[in-house]
């Protein structure tokens, strides 16, 4: 897995969201984008992370930051996940791996002695010009949204 680095142009994408609407990265030029990758809808860690973003969502809105969750789950799974946990942000459907591969988050994983390919839990902060500002390669689901918010706070 070769992650992108701060200072690189964020790869453009156009995919569907949980409602079947087309979403492109270029739609958000002029705003900061929190692009967070997670392994699977409605699993314990992914639910904790999504709920932390949900609970902090008003603070992201105050900072005019967009939150986009990405996994390789399909539209139905995303819709169900968003409804079940009242997620107010967009979930991107990446079942064709149009985002996970260019962003370097699709890779070999290990779980209980088995190796498999999957989505690694990584977050990119993309600036108003579409350039990667910050990368979080290791994420703790419970505290990550607060960590991103802290980074977004205006520096005095």
Q: What is the pLDDT of residues 48-69, one digit of tens each?
A: 999 999 999 999 999 999 999 9
* Matching residue, tokens 């992201």: 60
* Matching residue, tokens 């897995």: 1
Say if domain 14-148 classifies as CATH 3.40.30.10: yes
pLDDT at 150 over 60: yes
Helix (H, G, I), strand (E, B) or coil at 12: coil
Q: What are the distances in angstroms from CA 139 to CA 7, 80, 89, 147?
A: 20, 24, 19, 9
pTM of the model: 0.95
* pLDDT classification of 111: cutoffs 50, 70, 90: confident
Strands 65-71 and 32-37: parallel
pLDDT at 125 over 60: yes
DSSP 55-81: HHHHHHHHTTEEEEEEES--HHHHHHH
* pLDDT classification of 75: cutoffs 50, 70, 90: very high
| CB-based burial label for 9 (10 Å; 0-12, 13-18, 19+) | exposed
Give the residue numbers marked as catalytic.
46
What pLDDT was estimated at residue 144?
A: 94
Average pLDDT over residues 115-132: 95
Query: CA 72, CA 38: separation in Å to the nearest integer?
Result: 9
pLDDT at 99 over 80: yes
pLDDT at 17 over 90: yes
pLDDT at 110 over 90: no
For residues 36 and 68, is the Cβ–Cβ distance under 8 A?
yes
What pLDDT was estimated at residue 52?
A: 97
Query: CA 39, CA 37: separation in Å to the nearest integer?
Result: 7
* pLDDT classification of 1: cutoffs 50, 70, 90: low
**What are the boundaries of each domain within the chain?**
14-148
What pLDDT was estimated at residue 39?
A: 95
pLDDT at 133 over 60: yes
What pLDDT was estimated at residue 156?
A: 66
């Amino acid at each position: 897995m070769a992650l992108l680095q701060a200072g690189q142009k964020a790869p453009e994408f156009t995919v569907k969201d949980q409602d079947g609407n087309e979403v492109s990265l270029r739609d958000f030029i002029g705003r900061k984008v929190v692009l967070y990758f997670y392994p699977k809808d409605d699993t314990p860690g992914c639910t904790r992370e999504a709920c932390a973003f949900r609970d902090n969502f008003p603070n992201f809105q105050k900072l005019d930051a967009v939150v986009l969750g990405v996994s390789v789950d399909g539209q139905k799974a995303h819709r169900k996940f968003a409804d079940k946990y009242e997620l107010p942000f967009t979930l991107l459907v990446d079942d064709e791996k149009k985002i996970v591969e260019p962003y370097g988050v699709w890779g070999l994983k290990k779980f209980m002695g088995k190796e498999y390919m999957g989505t690694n839990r990584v977050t990119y902060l993309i600036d108003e010009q579409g350039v990667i500002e910050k990368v979080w390669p290791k994420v703790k689901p419970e505290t990550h949204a607060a960590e991103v918010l802290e980074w977004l706070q205006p520096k005095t």
